[in-house]
Structure 1
Amino acid sequence: MTMPYTRDLVLVGGGHAHALVLKAWGMDPLPGVRLTVINPGPTAPYTGMLPGHVAGHYGRDDLEIDLVRLCRHAGARIIFDKAVGIDRARREVMLKGRGPVGYDVASIDVGITAEMELPGFGDHAIGVKPLDIYAARWRDFLEQVAQGQLAPDVAVIGGGVAGCELAMAMAFALRGKGVTPRVTVIEAGPQISGVGATARKRMLRAMAGLGIAVKTSAKVLRVCADQVELQGQEPVAAALCVGAAGAFAHGWIAETDLPQQDGFIEIGPDLGVIGDESLFAVGDCAVMPLAPRPKAGVFAVRAAPILHHNMRAALSGGRRKTWRPQKNYLKLISLGEKSAMAEKFGFTLAGPFMWRWKDRIDRAFMDRLSDLPKMAVPALTGAAAIGVAEILAAKPLCGGCGAKVGRSVLSGALQVIAQPRGDVVTGAGDDAAVLRLPGGGFQVITTDHLRSLIDDPALMTRIAAVHALGDIWAMGAAPQVALASIVVPQMSAELQARTLSEITQVATEVLAAAGAQLVGGHTTMGAELTIGFSVTGTRASMPLTVSGAKAGDVLILTRPIGSGVLMAADMAGQADGRDVAAALAIMAQAQDREAALLAPVAHAMTDVTGFGLAGHVKAICEASGMDADLWQAAIPTYTGARELSDAGVSSSLMAANRADAGGKGASDALLYDPQTAGGLLAAVPEAQSAAVIKALGDKGCSGHMIGRLRDGMGRLRL
């Protein structure tokens, strides 16, 4: 039995503590809780490995925590957006790019920023935090230096541990590119800070060995495009200026009514926000007045078990625990090359062996967050009807179009439908039915719904609406009205209201942008989230169908294929979160601009959905009396889909699609991959195809010529 949802737990930010909570939650979820994570991107960088990444010892994948996989493991929805406020009276988190998200209990772990209030900093410098933004900027800079486009001049503002550590890493990486680095650390105080006297001497010696200059008692006046100006000292050349002086709170926190010190959220010994039983904060964005500690990732890691326990207690009425942060902690500082220094209680050790120790610690932490159990297959116990074991042994049912019924089964069922008559011009078999309007012109009508492929109702609504509108756009019609059909999981009345509010807001927004109006619908509770729309559209002339393609036409596809493979891999915890996020972002985009450019010139058009690219090409060929030559190298695929498909990952509908297409002439499994909110597929005269591709590009859309049609009997060839 599926447990009903009664409480919303929202984790704002993908910091280390929240990542560890997600791992623990997936191992032992609290029944009745709907878990949500809000983070700007699909990954979060691990602080401990950043210097090693900058130095070139670790790749990007080594550095990043995959929040998408963690959320799948934890049964959580992830929202790719940035928090910009919080309404504690309404218990809502305000987001930059979408409507508010309600909560019963929430935790904030958004880290800090190193953006400095210096003249010119915003235009010509980058803070070391947020880490992912700095890391991306560094990779670009290093590549430009290697190509001779920029000078290897780096200025680091801030001579604390973070600034010195990154200065050494950057100097080492620049040497690795065959250039002589010119790195300068600028410190306002009389000496580099954050370590004891012995450790300071070792760090200065290591920096000198890498050719790093250190300027102390240096006040920065302004940051310019190519240098940093100092008071009373010569300016420092800087093709890249990095801010590492101090930790600054995010500006949006200061604008809330949260209790705070200098923009940092005040928390008590239970990690709860002072005076608020429903809010927690952890990591660098928080401060505990009774036990202030430096901004260091080790504290967030140690706080995670207490945070996990206390949030569960807040949700279930249990007793909270007290967190006691340690007074002294081990500092492990990278020295550029594969050497590190350890400091604790004033004692220091340095050398390659310390690097190996640090490397083991860092990799062990990342392994904790990447070593996730595989999705369990339900076990069959006792007697069962014939065929049950075979279905359970097959691939788990996918979401989206991967859950559709196969084409041959559907075609057999539709044979009993009466032939069009009266005002019905065409019925079943095309993207939408076509009706003749009494006053002239035509109306098209279609319906589609999707079994949830992600747990975010708002994003799922956007994708489902785009998916349903695809049938209208594919026929060259203008969307008119829509009815929604919504199944939400069993939940409390309050969570129903929150969920339906998110769904209706997004549905109204997407449909209105397409020129249509949401006029009602039907809502019920069921086993899982399912969202669908019945949509009508109008066109003055006869709508486009899959028939009408001509010999010599070029096939143009507006979106990549492979979403079914990616979603199947995501469901099994095998996909890269960045690839999943990128695919979802494309699937959520409307295709009205593409339709407006293709419809006036296309002889036939459809949208690529559940039957896969091969199935929809075949539909055009069979209806038009054509064969298709597909150019495999020209067919775009979603990032990551090819590798997953070659490894044997497929959607649960793929085998049926291959069988329905005959499995002849096209061996590439991705051609049979079911697509959700897939691209438009148009047969366009070859003479106009280049102009159409250019026009699509000029509008910021994608268009790919993937094949050509010739007279035939519905066959596909690669």
Structure 2
Amino acid sequence: MNQALREQDLVLLGGGHSHALALLMLAMKAPAETRLTLVSPESFTPYSGMLPGLISGHYSFADTHIDLGQLCDRLGVRFVRAAATGIDYQARTVLFEQRPPLSFDVLSVDIGAQPGWSDVSGAREHATAVKPVAGFYQRWLQVRDRIAALPQGQRFQVVVVGGGAGSVEIALAMRHCIDNRDVEIRLLASGSLLREYNSRARAAVYQACQRSGIAVTEQERVTQVDAAMLHTSAGASYGFDALFWCTGAVAAPWLTQSGLPCTSDGFLRVLNSLQVEDHPQLFAAGDVATQTDHPRPKAGVFAVRQAPVLAHNLLASLQEKPLRNYRPQQRFLSLLALGERSAVADRSWLSVSGSWVWRWKDHIDRSFMQRFSAAKPIMPKPSAAADAPMHCGGCGAKLPAALLRGALGELAARYPQAVAVEQLREDAALLEVPTGARIFQSVDILRELVADPWLMGRIAALHALSDLYAMAAQPHSALCSLTLPYAGPAIQQRDLSQLLSGVLFELEAADCRLLGGHTLEGPELNLGLTVNGLDTGQLLPKQGLAPGDQLVLCKALGTGALFAAQQQGVADGRWIEQALDSMLLSNRGAALIASEHAVTAATDITGFGLAGHLLEMLPESGSPALQMRLDIASLPLLEGLKQVFNAGITSTLQPGNLAGCAASIAPELLVDTRPEALALFDPQTSGGLLLAVKSEAVEQLLVALRGAGYTAVCRIGEIAEAGPAGPFLVAE
């Protein structure tokens, strides 16, 4: 098969409007040897034109935000969620605070701008910047909830600082959302309101503010901000309960610190080709760029129109073909929302306003967002057959437990001296060495679960170390085995560095050394670690249960189904973010706490799901027989799991997990369609510890775990005596 190998990296830094649109074009036109990567600190990027409507309540979060992770997954683009701190152009790398540098052959920057705090004392500490939007919107929701909880008649003061279109739209949107005249909203401008708009447009805005009861203060520059009071150049002072800052934005300071050509206010200087001056492999668009031949205001309309030229020139640069020039229009149409379903249009001397202008604006905005939700998969993931389901990655790729038991049982009988049957059920094998030392060893291998190799390395390391933590062993050393996808040497070296950096990031935190390993290349990424641990003298056995013990689960369930949904392009990016945060939460702290709180047995929840690993904790023989009684409704679920299950989406390992437990659990659980019941069989990657603890110590254990950051931890059931025939796992 003559399949082109990936040879070069085209990296888009930032999820602004130019990049979002360019991504749609690049994914269709990029040659097979070019790998596309989008880097953004957030998984969602807001469409600024719809932000006022979101605040007003006219739109939902999904209406107004582009799900970058989902978009990249559909388009076959690698997505890296990280905030850049610099660019080393000579080394062709993007720099970050914690993770290793990311290499590029051609780089484009569209990171927008930061709040212009200027030199106003106290503004940074006491005000909320409108940019970045994610932080602003969360803060606004908190303010809105505070206002809703106010006793009748209590005053509340909101101040919006800024005199541009964004400030006006936000103030009017807030007033429309909060129809409470006990809430005072003030718009404070250092000059005249909307100085660049014509007189008719400005008059329409003044009238809207007057109708809404918004106090407009002009020609007063803020000179100082205290905890609940701001002071202006006119000698006036204004109290506030919430302060929002929407003045002129500035560039990220690290651009200048990276030695790149910048304007006096820190924005990248670009040529008409959108190349950064004297840096032919570096491009920039949107608010972060200033076109030196044709400087224009920082407005989204220019970013949108730059996208086709940017996409063409990025590919042309890689292929050493001629570049196009972008010439921005002198005048542009501005549509400004007035809070209610009304808007004003401004262009040169022309201005109109009314509800029909809102409908016009609404149509334009929704059409823009429709481009991303309607994007078709460019590079569908292959499956074994045209009608076969896509197989899951991570622990969803494990073989079913019943299959393993059948094969290992046969082999143990055939080779009794070579298979340690008594060790097979434990999380990590205990090695008795001649010196008398006790060493624990475990191995785990994962298929690619996330496209970001550094993140994949971290997840794989934490997943492997979890087996040691489940037995309270201290990690000592590790060996790594990995298969890199077929690619050119430069791409493979970059990916190897990123993967191992992620592995080492977590091994170092665990005081565990990487001693070596083995590498291969193949059709897909596989990453495995063999980890060794030392006996701490506080062994947590898997099979130490006794009647009356309480069962505690340290993390929420759902990674298997959520990533299956992501493969199908239907998972909300916020769900995947939460799932990743859960997987990146090490079980080390939970194991240390468990050893101090009368824990009698422990295991970690991975590929065989909660039910499968619960049953592994039961003794194979003995009297009395034990039964696990679960409070199904109490099971902690990751955000989005209920929606995914209700849509009929499960991991490819789910049926095997259910079948492997069928003989030991209550029959009604086999047909229970509640999301909590389905979650019993969902395979977990880097899942949480499952602990059995004496009933008198359970509350102290829960408090300690929550204090250590395990916010999803909860009691899920208890151990009781059972008849010899079972069932051994039932719902309370």
TM-score by length of 2: 0.93
Partner-residue secondary structure (3-state), 1:86: strand
Indicate whether 1:604 and 2:593 are aligned: no
When structure 1 is superposed on structure 2, of 678-687 and 429-438 the one drifting more is 429-438
Q: 1:623 to 1:132 in 2, by over 3 A?
A: same
- 1:383 equivalent in structure 2: none
In the alignment, the residues of structure 2 paired with residue 555 and residue 3 of structure 1 have an alpha-carbon distance, to the nearest angstrom, of: 52
Letter in 2 for 1:603: T
Letter in 2 for 1:109: D
Task: Note the C-alpha offset of 1:417.
Answer: 3.4
- 2:484 equivalent in structure 1: 488
2:313 to 300, 310, 313: 310
In the alignment, the residues of structure 1 paired with residue 258 and residue 686 of structure 2 have an alpha-carbon distance, to the nearest angstrom, of: 38
Q: Within 5 A, what are the aligned runs for 1:418-567?
A: 426-541=422-537, 543-567=539-563
Letter in 2 for 1:238: F
The question of whether the paired residues in 2 share the 8 Å contact of 1:423 and 1:435 is answered with no
Task: Note the C-alpha offset of 1:374.
Answer: 5.6
The question of whether the paired residues in 1 share the 8 Å contact of 2:39 and 2:79 is answered with yes
In the alignment, the residues of structure 2 paired with residue 397 and residue 422 of structure 1 have an alpha-carbon distance, to the nearest angstrom, of: 32
The question of whether the paired residues in 1 share the 8 Å contact of 2:75 and 2:377 is answered with no
In the alignment, the residues of structure 2 paired with residue 28 and residue 649 of structure 1 have an alpha-carbon distance, to the nearest angstrom, of: 32
The question of whether the paired residues in 2 share the 8 Å contact of 1:55 and 1:170 is answered with yes
In the alignment, the residues of structure 2 paired with residue 378 and residue 304 of structure 1 have an alpha-carbon distance, to the nearest angstrom, of: 27
Partner-residue secondary structure (3-state), 1:507: helix
RMSD: 2.2
- 1:359 equivalent in structure 2: 362
In the alignment, the residues of structure 2 paired with residue 691 and residue 420 of structure 1 have an alpha-carbon distance, to the nearest angstrom, of: 44
The question of whether the paired residues in 2 share the 8 Å contact of 1:152 and 1:174 is answered with no
In the alignment, the residues of structure 1 paired with residue 208 and residue 449 of structure 2 have an alpha-carbon distance, to the nearest angstrom, of: 51
Q: Within 5 A, what are the aligned runs for 1:79-478?
A: 79-117=80-118, 118-148=120-150, 151-175=155-179, 178-261=180-263, 262-373=265-376, 392-415=386-409, 416-417=411-412, 426-478=422-474
- 1:384 equivalent in structure 2: none
In the alignment, the residues of structure 2 paired with residue 607 and residue 656 of structure 1 have an alpha-carbon distance, to the nearest angstrom, of: 19
Partner-residue secondary structure (3-state), 2:178: helix
Task: Note the C-alpha offset of 1:545.
Answer: 3.6
> What are structure 2's unaligned runs of at least 5 residues?
none
1:620 to 592, 613, 617: 617
Partner-residue secondary structure (3-state), 2:168: helix
The question of whether the paired residues in 1 share the 8 Å contact of 2:550 and 2:718 is answered with yes
1:710 to 703, 714, 720: 720
Letter in 1 for 2:22: V
Letter in 2 for 1:43: F
Q: 1:714 to 1:518 in 2, by over 3 A?
A: farther
Task: Note the C-alpha offset of 1:320.
Answer: 1.8
In the alignment, the residues of structure 2 paired with residue 21 and residue 593 of structure 1 have an alpha-carbon distance, to the nearest angstrom, of: 44
For each residue in 1:586-631, what CA deviation from the matched residue of structure 2 results, as whole angstroms up to 9, or x when unmatched? 2022111101122453322211111111111122135474221111
Letter in 2 for 1:535: V
For each residue in 1:433-472, what CA deviation from the matched residue of structure 2 results, as whole angstroms up to 9, or x when unmatched? 2122333342111111100011111100100011111111
Letter in 2 for 1:134: F
1:680 to 669, 686, 689: 689
Task: Note the C-alpha offset of 1:540.
Answer: 4.9
In the alignment, the residues of structure 2 paired with residue 377 and residue 275 of structure 1 have an alpha-carbon distance, to the nearest angstrom, of: 39
Percent of paired sites with the same residue? 37
In the alignment, the residues of structure 1 paired with residue 112 and residue 376 of structure 2 have an alpha-carbon distance, to the nearest angstrom, of: 28
- 1:634 equivalent in structure 2: 634
In the alignment, the residues of structure 2 paired with residue 350 and residue 409 of structure 1 have an alpha-carbon distance, to the nearest angstrom, of: 69
Letter in 2 for 1:267: V
Q: Within 5 A, what are the aligned runs for 1:685-700?
A: 685-700=694-709
> What are structure 1's unaligned runs of at least 5 residues?
381-387
Q: 1:34 to 1:378 in 2, by over 3 A?
A: closer
Partner-residue secondary structure (3-state), 1:651: coil
In the alignment, the residues of structure 2 paired with residue 194 and residue 690 of structure 1 have an alpha-carbon distance, to the nearest angstrom, of: 62
Task: Note the C-alpha offset of 1:430.
Answer: 2.2
Task: Note the C-alpha offset of 1:283.
Answer: 0.2
In the alignment, the residues of structure 1 paired with residue 407 and residue 81 of structure 2 have an alpha-carbon distance, to the nearest angstrom, of: 40
Task: Note the C-alpha offset of 1:184.
Answer: 2.0
In the alignment, the residues of structure 2 paired with residue 626 and residue 35 of structure 1 have an alpha-carbon distance, to the nearest angstrom, of: 54
Partner-residue secondary structure (3-state), 1:705: strand
The question of whether the paired residues in 1 share the 8 Å contact of 2:75 and 2:378 is answered with no
Partner-residue secondary structure (3-state), 1:11: strand
The question of whether the paired residues in 2 share the 8 Å contact of 1:375 and 1:572 is answered with no
For each residue in 1:64-86, what CA deviation from the matched residue of structure 2 results, as whole angstroms up to 9, or x when unmatched? 11011111012222222211111
Indicate whether 1:46 and 2:43 are aligned: no
The question of whether the paired residues in 1 share the 8 Å contact of 2:453 and 2:499 is answered with yes
The question of whether the paired residues in 2 share the 8 Å contact of 1:15 and 1:44 is answered with yes
Task: Note the C-alpha offset of 1:92.
Answer: 0.9
The question of whether the paired residues in 2 share the 8 Å contact of 1:424 and 1:435 is answered with no
The question of whether the paired residues in 1 share the 8 Å contact of 2:163 and 2:192 is answered with no
In the alignment, the residues of structure 2 paired with residue 306 and residue 192 of structure 1 have an alpha-carbon distance, to the nearest angstrom, of: 30
Partner-residue secondary structure (3-state), 1:486: strand
Partner-residue secondary structure (3-state), 1:70: helix
- 1:643 equivalent in structure 2: 643
Task: Note the C-alpha offset of 1:393.
Answer: 2.6
Partner-residue secondary structure (3-state), 1:523: strand
In the alignment, the residues of structure 1 paired with residue 24 and residue 547 of structure 2 have an alpha-carbon distance, to the nearest angstrom, of: 56
The question of whether the paired residues in 1 share the 8 Å contact of 2:116 and 2:248 is answered with no
The question of whether the paired residues in 2 share the 8 Å contact of 1:440 and 1:540 is answered with no
Letter in 1 for 2:610: L
TM-score by length of 1: 0.94
Letter in 1 for 2:145: E
Q: 1:451 to 1:714 in 2, by over 3 A?
A: farther
When structure 1 is superposed on structure 2, of 659-668 and 243-252 the one drifting more is 659-668
In the alignment, the residues of structure 1 paired with residue 193 and residue 451 of structure 2 have an alpha-carbon distance, to the nearest angstrom, of: 51
Letter in 1 for 2:56: A
Letter in 2 for 1:417: A
Q: 1:572 to 1:190 in 2, by over 3 A?
A: closer
Q: 1:436 to 1:192 in 2, by over 3 A?
A: same
Task: Note the C-alpha offset of 1:99.
Answer: 1.7
Partner-residue secondary structure (3-state), 1:25: helix
Letter in 1 for 2:405: S
Partner-residue secondary structure (3-state), 1:65: strand
Q: 1:517 to 1:377 in 2, by over 3 A?
A: closer
Q: 1:276 to 1:218 in 2, by over 3 A?
A: same
The question of whether the paired residues in 1 share the 8 Å contact of 2:609 and 2:681 is answered with yes
Q: 1:255 to 1:475 in 2, by over 3 A?
A: same
When structure 1 is superposed on structure 2, of 183-192 and 683-692 the one drifting more is 183-192
Task: Note the C-alpha offset of 1:701.
Answer: 2.5
The question of whether the paired residues in 2 share the 8 Å contact of 1:37 and 1:77 is answered with yes
In the alignment, the residues of structure 1 paired with residue 136 and residue 574 of structure 2 have an alpha-carbon distance, to the nearest angstrom, of: 18
The question of whether the paired residues in 2 share the 8 Å contact of 1:425 and 1:434 is answered with no
Letter in 2 for 1:327: Q
Q: 1:606 to 1:185 in 2, by over 3 A?
A: same
Task: Note the C-alpha offset of 1:29.
Answer: 4.0
Task: Note the C-alpha offset of 1:20.
Answer: 1.4
In the alignment, the residues of structure 2 paired with residue 425 and residue 252 of structure 1 have an alpha-carbon distance, to the nearest angstrom, of: 58
When structure 1 is superposed on structure 2, of 238-247 and 351-360 the one drifting more is 238-247
Q: 1:375 to 1:29 in 2, by over 3 A?
A: closer
Task: Note the C-alpha offset of 1:699.
Answer: 2.2
Partner-residue secondary structure (3-state), 2:236: strand
Letter in 1 for 2:717: G
Partner-residue secondary structure (3-state), 1:278: strand
Q: Within 5 A, what are the aligned runs for 1:14-93?
A: 14-93=15-94
